[in-house]
Structure formats: C-alpha cells, structure tokens
Amino acid sequence: MIREMIVVEGKEDTAAIKRAVEADTIETGGSAVGEAVLRRIELAHQRRGVIVFTDPDAPGERIRKIVAARVPDCKHAFLTKDEARGKDGIGVEHARPDSIRRALEKVRSTGDGEAAGEPDIAWSDLLDAGLIVHGAAAKRRERMGELLGIGYANGKQFYKRCVMFRITREEFVQALEQLEREGI
C-alpha cells in the first residue's frame, strides 16, 4: 500500500492506479480544481503526504502547478507521453500498470530533504547540453525528462524543475551521457 494519497484528474485515472498498486486517490475532476478539492489535498498532505500524478499534457501540467502552489512540498510522479498514449488521447488512464508502478517508484519531491541553496544546474548547463536553443532541444529535453524522472517541459519549465527537484550535477551528467549514447 502506498502511504501517500495520489492526486489524479478523474475516476478513470483512479481505476488505472488501482490496477497497478494499492493506493487511495483524490480526483480533481479535471483542470478546474475547486477550493474544496484543494482543502482535501491539503488535509491529505498533512496526514499522509500527497503525490501529484496527472496526465503529461497541458491540462495535467495546469493541475500540477495549482496543487504545487497550494502544497509546495508535495511529491510528483511523471509518465512519458508514450507511456500515457491511448487510442483516444493521452492520459494516466491509458498507461499500463507496470508504467504506473515505475513512475511511482521514481517519485520526486521538490525538496528531497536537501538543504536549500544554490541550484546544482545552471541555465548555461542547459544551453551547453543542447536542451535549449538547439535544433533537437525539444526531443533532448523530452528524453532528459524521462531519464531524470521530471517529465517533459519547455526550456524555462525544465530549468525550473531541475531547480525545484534539486537535480544534482551528477544526475544531470549521467542522464546527459545516456542521451549522448543514444545519439539524441
């Protein structure tokens, strides 16, 4: 049983989570997250902890940002777009149970218990790594997001996630080396 409550978008996402793991969920009811839902998420965070596990699309990111603004030290789980792709769209509800379990095993916290301070990754590191201002930057960020377990984001958001999730220089370099080995 997963200790934390998992925040998902809807009942089909809850069903997919329950096929993969034993866990309790809070459904946001879509991207218009209401005050009552946010209060339940805050209570769940205080009592058990919260993992935000939304679709890898714009509405899912909107929900993730709303919840993270209200509960800044919540945890996050990410699926790739390929893992979440179904015949009628992209969503947690389409993911295979093993993909859901993998994402929950790689859950990231915004603090991960480390002391605050200067981030390990600088904007110039993204530039040097070809993750911004590069012909294949989007594809490279997508794969780096998978390798780092922080999901896909545009350049600015990718940098923000590296800082927010306290990606270490060692993690970044290892993921970048893997990216290079794959020829991306």
If one counts the domains in the chain, the total is 2
Question: pLDDT digit string (tens) for 71-83?
Answer: 988 999 999 999 9
pTM score above 0.95: no
Q: Which domain holds residue 152?
A: 123-181
The letter for the amino acid at 30 is G
Q: Judge if 101 and 30 occupy the same domain.
A: yes
Same-domain status, 83 and 12: yes
Of 66, 50, 65, 68, whose CA–CA distance to 7 is shortest? 50
- Could you tell me the pLDDT band of residue 111, with boundaries at 50, 70 and 90? low
